[in-house]
Amino acid sequence: MATATGGSAGRGSWGSSFGFILAAAGGAIGLGNIWGFPYTAAQSGGAAFVLLYLICVVLIGLPVMFAELSIGRATHKSPVTAFKALAPRSAWWLVGAQGVITGFAILAFYSVVAGWAVGYLYKAIAGEFSAGLTPVETQQIFHDLVANRQIVTLWTFLFFLAGILVVQGGVHGGIERACKILMPLFFVLLIGLAVRSMTLEGADKGISFLFNFELQRIVDNPKVILNALSQAFFSMSLGMGAMLTYGSYLSRKENLPWAGVSIGMADTAIAILAGLMIFPAFFAMGGTIDTLSTYREEALVFVVLPTIFDQLPAGQLFGIAFYALLVIAALTSSISLLEVITAFFVDELGWKRRSAVWVFGGAAFLLALPCALGLKITEDMSFMSLLILIFFQYSLLVGGFFICLFVGWAWKPQSAIAEMTAEGKTFPGLPFWSILIRFVCPLVIAIIILNQLYTAWKG
Ligand code: TRP
């Protein structure tokens, strides 16, 4: 049974601070790190993007993370109920509600991509990638998989089932326990693959692609800034109350800011390590910058990498390792999304955890169906890309914007700082954090959103 380290009676709590960090890092580290970060870096000019990304993490991501963790632990409630508790008789709870809706939508498209990964793991185990494939053939394999709607639905369903079974077990007995097994396994696989990739001949081109800053590329393409910020929010699981919910199961004994910094640093380090796993191998196998920026979203992970594995000695083994890693990362993240939804129905509407997980996990699966089935909204926009556009690019940023306003101006930074420094805890620079959360973060987020809307509207 969970020891009572935090939370109201019966709500559950983390077993240990290490368990919490692993679970929260597991929620943050996911497809966003392994799939999204390298892809966005490839699209946005490599090192210039990496630099901007790091600035976004430090100046905006971490301050918002502190804010979410503080609201969660101060109330021991999930988003909607938490806003109601801190600001009764106001409309702030809508920020929490937006988070729950965003959770549903992200879980839907996320699980379909995870379903592709499960399918690829199966293919890797079956030895489909070790038969001397040409790039055209690997492209075909991907198209065939996506086009095979029953199979994609099946894989997505199995993925959902795994997440539901974990979340049903509760915070301590389900989520924390699963992450304690899955995350170490994930780290071992990732480090093994990154070392293999970086020791290939010609790997240095990939490394300099990630770290050789050319500021001109940012100036050339201002969308890089939006990409970097949305990617930071998505990767750190911010803007929809996931960190808030995880913080709500924490005891006041924890040093919140340090926990936040550890989670943020782990997430960022893993994204960079994922880049170091993918790009050196890509360049070592003859890839070039010009081909890189022409790939579509899914191509790097599902089309390019199988060709690369195919050329390595023991390639099948590396292929299995890679797709297993992808599935693990996606599972621990989807768990955190499902937990936000579940906690809402438990805290706000008094549902039993078990019923909430099955009913609303099931509802999210229904929303995933049109994605898995490739439903189209218009000639060149699928239902899935519409969800990604609204909920990945905008909704998290809008949520983050209001979280900043709430903590900066309604709840007040002093209250959050009192929560962060409870029981004599200290953290350097908290007055500076107040300035960031009141002025810098909301302003930067608003400018980036408005600029993007303006460009989209004009173009
Ligand atoms: N951060 C995860 C990833 O990088 C995805 C994720 C899980 C997420 N929970 C979230 C994103 C909450 C936004 C909000 O893959």
Q: pLDDT tens, 385-441?
A: 999 999 998 999 999 999 999 999 999 999 999 999 999 999 999 999 999 999 999
Q: Please report, as a single letter, which amino acid is at residue 427.
A: F
pLDDT band at 22 (very low <50, low <70, confident <90, very high): very high
* Residue 45 DSSP class: T
Note the residue count of the chain: 459
Cα of 236 from ligand 1 centre, angstroms: 6
Q: 3-state DSSP call for residue 126?
A: coil
Q: What is the pLDDT of residue 137?
A: 84
Check: CB of residue 235 under 8 Å from CB of residue 33. yes
**Which of 237, 326, 397 gets mutated to test ligand 1 (max ligand atoms within 8 A of its CB)?**
237
Q: What is the pLDDT of residue 391?
A: 95
* Rounded alpha-carbon distances, angstroms, from residue 156 to 121, 146, 247, 429, 457: 13, 12, 29, 44, 35
Q: Please report, as a single letter, which amino acid is at residue 28.
A: A
User: Other C-beta atoms within 10 Å of 296: how many?
Assistant: 11
Q: Please report, as a single letter, which amino acid is at residue 432.
A: F
pLDDT single digits (tens) 297-322: 777 888 888 877 777 788 889 899 99
pLDDT single digits (tens) 169-213: 999 999 999 999 999 999 999 999 999 999 999 999 999 989 887
325 lines ligand 1 (CB under 6 A): no
Helix axes 315-347, 79-86, angle to 10 degrees: 40
pLDDT band at 459 (very low <50, low <70, confident <90, very high): confident
pLDDT band at 5 (very low <50, low <70, confident <90, very high): very low
pLDDT single digits (tens) 88-130: 999 999 999 999 999 999 999 999 999 999 999 999 999 888 6
Q: What is the pLDDT of residue 10?
A: 66
31: nearest Cα among 322, 284, 355: 322
Q: What is the pLDDT of residue 293?
A: 72
User: How would you class 317 by CB atoms within 10 Å of its CB: exposed for 0-12, middle for 13-18, buried for 19 or more?
Assistant: middle
User: Other C-beta atoms within 10 Å of 97: how many?
Assistant: 16
What is the secondary structure of 87-110 as a DSSP string? STTSSTHHHHHHHHHHHHHHHHHH
102 lines ligand 1 (CB under 6 A): no
Angle at 208 between CA 295 and CA 316, to 5 degrees: 55
Q: What percent of the chain has pLDDT over 90?
A: 76
Q: What is the CA radius of gyration of the chain?
A: 21
pLDDT single digits (tens) 33-62: 999 999 888 888 788 889 999 999 999 999
Q: What is the pLDDT of residue 4?
A: 38
The whole-angstrom separation of Cα 453 and Cα 459 is 10
396 lines ligand 1 (CB under 6 A): yes
The whole-angstrom separation of Cα 69 and Cα 24 is 11
Return phi, psi of residue 174, to 5°.
-105, -70
The whole-angstrom separation of Cα 104 and Cα 395 is 12
Q: What is the pLDDT of residue 131?
A: 63
117: nearest Cα among 370, 334, 315, 328: 328
Identify the residue whose C-alpha is closest to ligand 1 atom 6.
237
The chain-wide mean pLDDT, for the chain, equals: 92
* Rounded alpha-carbon distances, angstroms, from residue 237 to 99, 157, 230, 260: 11, 23, 10, 12
What is the secondary structure of 199-259 as a DSSP string? TSTTTHHHHHHHH---THHHHH-THHHHHHHHHHHHHTT-SSSHHHHHHTT--TTS-HHHH
The whole-angstrom separation of Cα 433 and Cα 428 is 9
pLDDT band at 256 (very low <50, low <70, confident <90, very high): very high
Q: What is the pLDDT of residue 3?
A: 39
Cα of 181 from ligand 1 centre, angstroms: 19
Strand partners, 381: 378
Strands 381-382 and 376-378: antiparallel
Structure tokens at 458: 């004009």
The whole-angstrom separation of Cα 117 and Cα 121 is 6
Cα of 234 from ligand 1 centre, angstroms: 5
Q: What is the pLDDT of residue 2?
A: 38
Ligand 1 atom, smallest distance to 30 CA: 15
Q: Tokens 């906690």 sit at which residue?
A: 343
391: nearest Cα among 114, 100, 172, 147: 100
The whole-angstrom separation of Cα 186 and Cα 35 is 15
Angle at 77 between CA 368 and CA 366, to 5 degrees: 10
Ligand 1 atom, smallest distance to 102 CA: 14
- Global pTM reads 0.94
Check: CB of residue 34 under 8 Å from CB of residue 301. yes
The whole-angstrom separation of Cα 423 and Cα 421 is 6
Q: What is the pLDDT of residue 285?
A: 81
- Looking at per-residue pLDDT, the higher value among 380 and 270 belongs to 270
